[in-house]
Structures are given as structure tokens and as C-alpha cells.
Amino acid sequence: MAEAASFLLNEELVAIPTETVYGLAGNALNAAVVLKIFEAKERPSFDPLIVHIPSKEVALLYAKDVPPVALMLMEAFWPGPLTLVLKKKSIIPDVVTSGLDTVGLRMPNHPMTLALLNTIDFPLAAPSANPFGYISPTTAQHVVDQLHSKIAMVLDGGACTVGVESTIVGFENGETVIYRLGGLTLEDIRKVAGDVVVCVNSSSDPKAPGMLKSHYAPSKPLYISNDLNSLIKINENYRLAVICFGNVKINEQHAVYNLSVKSDFKEAASNLFSFLRAIDQRNDIDVIVAALLPEANLGYAINDRLWRAAVK
Ligand code: TXA
Ligand code: MG
């Protein structure tokens, strides 16, 4: 931890654990460091970064005109998988927010990273610690596999418990808007915020977040459907990996990756990215097929990732 803090103080990048996915972190108040993050990820400069803070009080140092419903959401769900897009104060460099006048703020729920954030006196800009467009990392090893030459260290906090990125929420004209479905469910957000507008449509011009059509994508082709059996049949001449959910029977000749045999959405979310990575590394698989999950709970966020990862 001390080493991580000192690297960060010295303008280096450190990969940090969070409950959702690993982040590629650097001093959010230092524009030169933030540029290094974009370079290491090969991320286009129009895609803004999330700023990680250790408390609600610290969040309010960087945001202004915070609507009451945002304060209620912080109170209810921080620390946790919720990013709030708020009007930014000028202390946040424009490069962090890709020139937007808002900043995405999140208090992550991981003891190591919270302790780290409390040790240093600046917030951490951290996108997911993967090359742009590829599957997000949910273990320290995933980060090392792809970014080891570009970062000073990885703080190993174990496997991420949530496994999909934070839900991103903003506020426009008095409405609460969901920009990215994620680890905090819509059902939970509605309990605190009431009605919300879901605006997660794909776009090649993401003024809005994580909305790029193609993202989270493995190198092998991935096909998705509600009708898994037909999908398997169409692709039966390939060596298949089958991603499924719940108590289903799949022909043993295929490599079967069941996200959760007992239909547990949480378990499924925590398995999704590590399954995709594991399959992507196999030499004996040509094509991945996946069943879409029921549209409820974390099923929305998981399906969103599958849609973006799939062949268009
Ligand atoms: O769970 C997470 O959110 C993880 C962990 C590391 O905290 N981070 C993450 O970061 O997923 P990233 O960079 O992979 O995705 C952040 C998304 C981007 O798609 C970006 O467009 C959006 O957040 N975003 C950030 N600031 C924004 C803003 N001011 N307005 C709209 N979208 C914003
Ligand atoms: Mg990402």
C-alpha cells in the first residue's frame, strides 16, 4: 500500500482493485498523469474517466450544484457500484472529462482502495484496466496479462466480487438518467430516486458513457440469442464454447461455461468477464455462443455487456 501511494505521488500509474473491476489509476488532478492513462489503454480522448474518491464529503470538493437526489443516492449506495455524473468544479482537469462540464464520481467498495484513497491527498482517475475495447479485468492477473509493461504495479485485492462495472447515473432537466447499466440494479436505484430514464443506446459519439456499440469484446467471435439451442445448432460445425445460465442441459461435446447453475444473478455477474477471458485464451475453441439472461436485476447489465461484446 505504501509503495502504491508513493508510485502515485511520483506520477506513475497503479492498477487498483474495486468491487466491480480493476481500475488503471493515476492522480486525477494532474493532467500529465491522466494523459498517461489514456496512452496506456490506447483509449480515445473523447471517452471521459471516472474519478474515485474516499467519501461523500470529498466528492463535494469536486462537484457543484449537486441535486438532492444525487445526495440521497450517495447516502444509500456509497461505497458501491454507482458512479454519479455531476457538474464539475474547475479543479478537475478538462482532459479527465474529455472537455465535458460534468465529472463521473465514484466511491468504490474495496477496503484496500478506500485505505489508499485515504492515504493520498488527491482523487484517482481510473478507467477499467484493460486495453480499450477488450474485456474488463476482474483479477490482478488479468491486469498483469495485458498491461504489465505500462504500469508501475498492481495492487492485488483478490477477485472482484461484483464483476461488472458501476451503474452510471446523471441528472438532466430534473430527471435521473441511467447512462450505463451496471453493478447497482435499476430496481435498487428506483427505490431511492423514483422514476428514472434509461438512456444507454449505442453511439459512436459518446457524450454519454460506456455507450460505444462495440466494447468488452473477446477476440473470438461471440454470438448471442434468447434461443440457445438454435444458436448451437447453427454453429455446430465449429468448436464451441457455450455460455449459459441456470439449470440447462448442454451437449457435453461443447465447452460449457454456466454463469450460475442456480440462476443467481450476482454469481453470474462475477463470472462473466473471467469466463470470457478464459475462453478467449483457449486454442481448442473457435466460436463463443451465449444465452441472454432474463431481463431483471443484474440481468440487464450482463445482457448489455453481451450485446456490446457480440459480433454485429
Ligand atoms: O466500475 C467502474 O465504473 C470501473 C471501476 C474501475 O471503477 N470503471 C470503469 O471505467 O468502468 P471506464 O472508463 O471503463 O468506464 C467509464 C465510463 C466511460 O464509458 C465514460 O464515457 C463514462 O464512464 N463517463 C465518465 N465520466 C463521464 C461524464 N462526465 N459524463 C458522461 N460519461 C462519463
Ligand atoms: Mg471500461
Overall average pLDDT of the 286-293 stretch: 98
Pocket of ligand 1 (CB under 6 A): 18, 20-21, 23, 47-50, 81, 83, 85, 97, 100, 102-104, 106, 108, 126-128, 165-166, 168, 179, 206, 208-210
> So what's the pLDDT on residue 311?
85
> So what's the pLDDT on residue 230?
97
CA–centroid distance, 244 to ligand 2, in Å, is 23
From the CA of 133, which ligand is nearest?
Answer: 2
> So what's the pLDDT on residue 124?
99
* Total-model pTM: 0.95
CA–centroid distance, 114 to ligand 2, in Å, is 20
Instruction: Give the position, in ligand 1's atom list, of the atom nearest the Cα of 126.
Output: 6
CA–centroid distance, 186 to ligand 2, in Å, is 20
- If one counts every other C-beta atom within 10 angstroms of the C-beta of residue 30, the result is 17
> So what's the pLDDT on residue 217?
87
| Nearest to 165, CA basis, from 112, 102, 111, 209 | 209
Q: Where are the beta strands (DSSP E) in 69-221?
A: 82-88, 102-106, 124-125, 153-154, 167-172, 175-180, 197-198
> So what's the pLDDT on residue 215?
75
Q: What is the pLDDT of residues 85-124, one digit of tens each?
A: 999 999 999 999 999 999 999 999 999 999 999 999 999 9
| The pLDDT of residue 312 is above 90 | no
Q: What is the pLDDT of residues 265-285, one digit of tens each?
A: 999 999 999 999 999 999 999
If you average pLDDT over every residue of the chain, what do you get? 95
CA distances from 16 to 119, 187, 244 (A): 14, 28, 30
> So what's the pLDDT on residue 212?
63
Q: What is the pLDDT of residues 8-34, one digit of tens each?
A: 999 999 999 999 999 999 999 999 999
User: What do you get for the CA distance between the two ends of the chain, in Å?
Assistant: 42
CA–centroid distance, 43 to ligand 2, in Å, is 10
> So what's the pLDDT on residue 211?
60
> So what's the pLDDT on residue 209?
46
> So what's the pLDDT on residue 213?
65
> So what's the pLDDT on residue 207?
52
Q: What is the pLDDT of residues 192-205, one digit of tens each?
A: 999 999 998 755 55
Question: By three-state DSSP, how is residue 15 classified?
Answer: strand
CA–centroid distance, 300 to ligand 1, in Å, is 18
What is the set of domains in the chain, with CATH numbers? Answer: 2-198 (3.90.870.10), 222-309 (3.40.50.11030)
From the CA of 19, which ligand is nearest?
Answer: 1
Is the bond preceding 79 in cis, omega lying within 30 degrees of 0? yes
